[in-house]
Amino acid sequence: MTDIRAEITASVWKVDVTAGQTVSENDEIIILESMKMEIPVVATVSGTVTEVHVAPDDQVTEGHLLVTIN
């Protein structure tokens, strides 16, 4: 199981995955927005998304859990 975490403090602009979805390494899974910049978050492993922990407009800080991939 792999947890994908936020690397910066930002707001969640877009969530591109849902639980049960299969992803490949480097697939874009979430887009964060900070200071009018879009920051893509990519899957670090291939697998199945088991849980999405955020929704659009959520505020996250560095280290905040975004997605779990199994």
pLDDT at residue 40 in the model: 97
Give the model confidence (pLDDT) of 3-53 as tens digits. Answer: 999 999 999 999 999 999 999 999 999 999 999 999 999 999 999 999 999
Task: Tell me if 48 sits within 8 A of 20, measured CB to CB.
Answer: yes
SS (H, E, C) 2-70: EEEECCCCEEEEEECCCCCCEECCCCEEEEEEECCEEEEEECCCCEEEEEECCCCCCEECCCCEEEEEC
- The class that CATH gives domain 2-69 is mainly beta
- This prediction has a pTM of 0.90
Which residue has 């874009």 as its token pair?
Answer: 28
